Structure 1
Amino acid sequence: MDALLDFATRLLAQLQSPTLAFLLGGILIAALGSRLEIPESIYKFIVFMLLMRVGLDGGMSIREANLADMLLPALFAVLIGAGIVLIGRFTLALLPSVRTEDGIATAGLFGAVSGSTLAAAIVVLESEGIDYEHWAPALYPFMDIPALVVAIVLANLYLKRRDGSSEKVRIWPIVKESLQGSALSAMLLGIALGLFTRPEQIFEGFYDPLFRGLLSVLMLVMGMEAYARLNELRRVAHWFAIYAAIAPLLNGLIAFALGYVAHVLTGFSPGGVVLLAILASSSSDISGPPTLRAGIPSANPSAYVGASTSVGTPVAIAIGIPLFLGLSQVVFGT
């Protein structure tokens, strides 16, 4: 009983943290009809700055890390990304009133990773004083790319069978499209610079000090965007809203379980397990949508973008982050 009470107290405390407060504040002012706008160019710059900071930190940490320690978490990240899409293919995509390609695209977006959710999780872990492997955010592409590739391949195979086409599905163009996405490009650039150069001075003097402030602005924008996308979600089957509310937590729990296995076998830290779970609970909000639009043009963006932005991301940040932190405390005693 004491453990459950402590878990509930921690969950409530996390909902009052600055990161989550700005997200909820954005939703609130949008609901009240505020005309506040953040220019798109500023939004894109903030995303770039956050992902470069995460990438640089990850690259510098990989340089000092034992690569053998990364192998099992990286393998689990690949399995989680692909597995989330397969689960969606045989659940959401088969429900009544759900077009199969819309269901697969939605599962692909939820299997991919949100850089903003990852950044929010890092801030919360650091504010709580919870240690984690600083290469853990570099698991991002190991989960993101397989999810998008599997989703596009499954959707195209389905559409070609339905239409009687014998044309082959080519995988490399899908991988290339994913790698060229703005979010993943920024992350990979940061990792490469951190790994092969010595950016410590500019990291400590520029990227790191701005991280939390920029993240608060991004959370505000995402809160307003989440509310604005609700109308899009109302136009499609209600199953998408139900999936978007359940999938982040279920996906995160699957990842937490696999992270625990990595903890037992390789010493993967509790903080690393939490980050893996949050990566899995997130849904891509930057590079994923354009990749899916190009790869599955017949899928309805109102379904997969609406589900991700209006429900999935707020659930992952406002509920998922405190949930997995509380679960870590129960399991690991941290």
Structure 2
Amino acid sequence: MDLHLLIDNLTNPALLFFILGIVAVRLKSDLAIPDQTSKFISLYLLFSIGFKGGQELAHSEFSMSIIYAIIFGMCTATIIPVYTFFILKKKLSVYNAGAIAAAYGSVSAVTFVTAVSFLEIQNIGFNGHMVAVMALMEAPAIIIGVILIRIFVKNDASKEQQSLKQIIKHSFTNGSVLLILGSLIIGLLASDEQAMGIKPFTTDIFKGFLAIFLLDMGIVSGRKLQDFLKSGKFTILFATVIPLVNGLIVAYLSRIITQEPGDRFIMAVLAASASYIAVPAAMKIAVPKANPGIFIPMALAVTFPVNITIGMPAYLAVVLCS
């Protein structure tokens, strides 16, 4: 790993605001971001990254590399929940194993946004179709997680079947997925002149909103961290090691489909990230017996900070060296 990449990431203002949020909780400060404000910033980040991705895609020539990237991403989102499920099932219930496997096979839009900011600091670009890859990786992992639970749980088969139908629909109509796909399409259709009209909103204030959002994520993580620690060493170890393994493997294997460093880095980050928005919402419908008190803190309080501190410099180092 290139040490200067790690140092640059550790001094990134966005990351430092995340740490500030955790510190605020530990100091029992009353610092808090209002729920509606946090929701608005989440929507803004998805809108901004989707729109800019659409603009990038509009200026890109259609090629087989786009198809290869989508296929590679969806295969990753299918394989990861399968192998992680069998690891998790050794220590956890089938319901929790399936939900956690779905979360780690799925993606985190916030981690994606942070990865984009990281690439900007390194002056490395990426292709706009990676936004579409991210959005399309959400559903397969959720569906695989539910299918695995159906296979290994003999009871309530009819209920699980009904839930699977609901979850397929929910995966594609989930607000975060719909917004980023919709923004991508709008950005694709908009002309350069039209895009320039909203550039101050989509681009100029992006990093500021990201910093505030990560401050809020730090506060949320700090509040949930103590309860999660009571769940045992296995979940902590899993949430730390598995994302790094996934990210490093994909960082290396992604050279099969592209030689673009930015695209390969994004692929690695998507493989390493874990969903704590779409998957919990989906599992609440499909698998109500799964405990969100385990898989949400795993993704948010452990995997997310591991990725943005150690993971991203490591993935980029592998990409640049292979």
TM-score between both structures, scaled by the size of structure 2: 0.93
Alignment partner of 1:292 is 2:287: no
Quickly say closer, same or farther: Cα 1:201–1:311, change in 2 above 3 A.
Answer: same
Task: For 1:184 and 1:16, locate their aligned partners in 2 and report how far apart those are by CA, in whole Å.
Answer: 31
SS of residue paired to 2:281: helix
Alignment partner of 1:12 is 2:4: no
Alignment partner of 1:50 is 2:45: yes
SS of residue paired to 1:276: helix
Q: What count of residue pairs does the alignment treat as equivalent?
A: 318
SS of residue paired to 2:275: coil
Q: Which amino acid aligns with 1:288?
A: V
2:161 maps to which residue? Answer: 169
Deviation at 1:30, TM superposition (A): 1.7
1:91 maps to which residue? Answer: 87
Task: For 1:323 and 1:99, locate their aligned partners in 2 and report how far apart those are by CA, in whole Å.
Answer: 32
Percent identity over paired residues: 26
Alignment partner of 1:254 is 2:249: yes
1:300-329 Cα deviation digits (max 9, x unpaired) = 111111211111111122221222223333
TM-score between both structures, scaled by the size of structure 1: 0.89
Equivalent residue in structure 1 for 2:262, among 271, 277, 295: 271
SS of residue paired to 1:299: coil
1:200-225 Cα deviation digits (max 9, x unpaired) = 12441311111100000111111111
Task: For 2:311 and 2:198, locate their aligned partners in 1 and report how far apart those are by CA, in whole Å.
Answer: 29
Deviation at 1:67, TM superposition (A): 4.1
Q: Which amino acid aligns with 1:153?
A: I
Q: Report if the CA contact (8 A) 1:140-1:279 is conserved.
A: yes
1:180 maps to which residue? Answer: 173
User: Equivalences for 1:24-35 in 2 at 5 Å?
Assistant: 24-35=19-30
Task: For 1:285 and 1:323, locate their aligned partners in 2 and report how far apart those are by CA, in whole Å.
Answer: 23
Deviation at 1:192, TM superposition (A): 1.7
Q: Report if the CA contact (8 A) 2:248-2:314 is conserved.
A: no
Equivalent residue in structure 1 for 2:137, among 126, 140, 143: 143
Deviation at 1:175, TM superposition (A): 2.1
Deviation at 1:62, TM superposition (A): 2.4
Q: Report if the CA contact (8 A) 2:99-2:283 is conserved.
A: yes
Quickly say closer, same or farther: Cα 1:167–1:28, change in 2 above 3 A.
Answer: closer
Q: Which runs of 5+ in 2 are unaligned?
A: none
Quickly say closer, same or farther: Cα 1:232–1:293, change in 2 above 3 A.
Answer: farther
1:3-51 Cα deviation digits (max 9, x unpaired) = x6xx123212221112222222222222222110101111111011111
Q: Which amino acid aligns with 1:84?
A: I
Q: Which amino acid aligns with 1:196?
A: L
